[in-house]
Amino acid sequence: MPDAQGTPLPVTAPPASPEQPSYAHPMAAFFLMFFKGAAIFIYIFCGWFPTDFVINFCLICFLLVCDFWTVKNVSGRLMVGLRWWNEVSESGGSDWKFESLEEGQRTVNKKDSFVFWSLLYAAPVAWCVLGLIAILKLNIDYLLLVVIAVLLSGANLMGYLKCSKAAQNQIKGKFNSLFASGLRAYMFGRN
């Protein structure tokens, strides 16, 4: 095939791209998407079917709770190597606990991480949009579901953001400690 000046260009096959890694935890990714998607889908389309509000409310709440538990205890640990929980102290204060894989054990799949963080951010945004629609339609009953959904998905988002920050600080602390000990050995080891 000639180029703009009329000289033929060599016809070659495109360079072989390295195969993209697949999901390391496809079941965790599936259930992460399933519970979030099912709750939003049923919320949007429950008005199309002649069912009682109580049934819709219970079903959506059940899906939201399953989503919260799955994200908090399974998906986060498997897909990004993080886990969080909150303990109430005897004085009544809230104490956040974070858990992350050690640096040597931590191999996070990029696709898993992308799906996890994308859905973690997208869910509260989607529920807020649905909340605005419920307010505009003056649909106060279903607004309660949106409030529950925003609280649960927002708690997971906040917990994982704090957990991620704590894990980064832990890595920085280990690096600084290693650097300081190496510097001490270098400075005081030479006499």
pLDDT digits (tens, 9 = 90+) for 52-81: 889 999 999 999 999 999 999 998 888 888
With 50 as the cut, is the pLDDT of residue 8 above it?
Answer: no
- How high is the mean pLDDT of the chain? 79
First-last CA distance in the chain: 70
The domain in which residue 174 lies consists of 26-101+108-178
14 found inside a domain: no
Contact 27, 78 (CB under 8 A): no
10 found inside a domain: no
With 80 as the cut, is the pLDDT of residue 116 above it?
Answer: yes
Query: If you average pLDDT over residues 48-54, what whole number do you get?
Result: 83
| CA R_g for the chain | 24
Calculate the alpha carbon distances from 146 to 49, 117, 153, 190 in Å: 19, 21, 10, 65
**Helix, strand, coil % (nearest 5) of the chain?**
65, 10, 25
With 50 as the cut, is the pLDDT of residue 122 above it?
Answer: yes
12 found inside a domain: no
Residue 163 has a pLDDT of 80
Total number of domains constituting the chain = 1
66 found inside a domain: yes
1 found inside a domain: no
pLDDT tier at 173 (50, 70, 90 boundaries)?
Answer: low
144 found inside a domain: yes
Q: Can you read off the two tokens belonging to residue 1?
A: 């095939």
Contact 98, 12 (CB under 8 A): no
90 found inside a domain: yes
User: How many helices (H) and strands (E) in the chain?
Assistant: 4, 2
188 found inside a domain: no
